[in-house]
A and B are shown apart, each in its own frame.
Chain A
Amino acid sequence: AQTVTQSQPEMSVQEAETVTLSCTYDTSESNYYLFWYKQPPSRQMILVIRQEAYKQQNATENRFSVNFQKAAKSFSLKISDSQLGDTAMYFCAFMKRNTGNQFYFGTGTSLTVIP
């Protein structure tokens, strides 16, 4: 079974500052994907960033980057130059490769960006 753990239920950051959200996972799979999804008050889940486990290079999308430590099964999200629009719930998610499209989600981290 796959489990995803987000140990920070709530976090806050000053506008323009940097914040890191933590995520750890447990799996016996060797091929998989990891994701960070954002859920603003509109409730729509929006993909922030995706990492393929077989790629050693950490994924980056503009102000968002990850620190993927495969051996430690850790997948943290760094948000640089935080903006008010970044205020949302952030979910870490796991998906096995080539065996179906089921996401395993963490419990989420509520991030508030303070003006």
Chain B
Amino acid sequence: KAGVTQTPRYLIKTRGQQVTLSCSPISGHRSVSWYQQTPGQGLQFLFEYFSETQRNKGNFPGRFSGRQFSNSRSEMNVSTLELGDSALYLCASRPGQLNTEAFFGQGTRLTVV
């Protein structure tokens, strides 16, 4: 069974631009969560989607948004990029909301210049 796939693996964007990151969960998994990892702030929860609905949201500005499609694939979007948005963005999938074990992808390394 294929693991969690995140694309692209690396991305360089200019301040002010917007970016879309993609996450394909393990087949059959319906819950997708996103985390931002930075050296200064560590791992922080962005949001969680289940059955195309946002179920939980972390403390991030409205520039960070996401969505989930009917095939459970998820995208997150960051608009008006700032230098501080440079981070590793990790996606985690679960079979359902009540499952505790999460399977992570290898992340997308975003660099804002």
Contacts and interface: CB of A to CB of B under 8 A. Distances in A.
Contacts of B35: 103, 105
Contacts of B88: 43
B58 interface: yes
B43 A103 contact: yes
Interface in A69-110: 91, 95, 98, 100-108
Contacts of B56: 100-102
Interface of B is mostly: strand
A33 interface: yes
A102 B48 contact: yes
Q: Which of B58, B88, B103, B104 has the most CB of A within 10 A?
A: B104
Interface string B84-104: 000010101010011111111
B33 A101 contact: yes
A45 B101 contact: no
Nearest to B3: A44
A62 interface: no
A107 B107 CA distance: 18
The contact size tier of chain A is 20 to 34
B74 to A, nearest CB: 14
A91 B105 contact: no
Q: Which of A33, A44, A50, A107 has the most CB of B within 10 A?
A: A44
Contacts of A45: 90, 92, 104
Contact of A50 (B43, B45, B100, B103): B100
21 contacts: A42-B106, A43-B90, A43-B107, A43-B109, A44-B106, A45-B90, A45-B92, A47-B101, A47-B102, A47-B103, A50-B100, A95-B100, A100-B55, A100-B56, A102-B33, A102-B56, A102-B58, A103-B43, A103-B45, A105-B42, A108-B42
Interface of B: 31, 33, 35, 42-43, 45, 48, 55-56, 58, 88, 90, 92, 94, 97-107, 109
Interface of A: 33, 35, 37, 42-47, 50, 91, 95, 98, 100-108
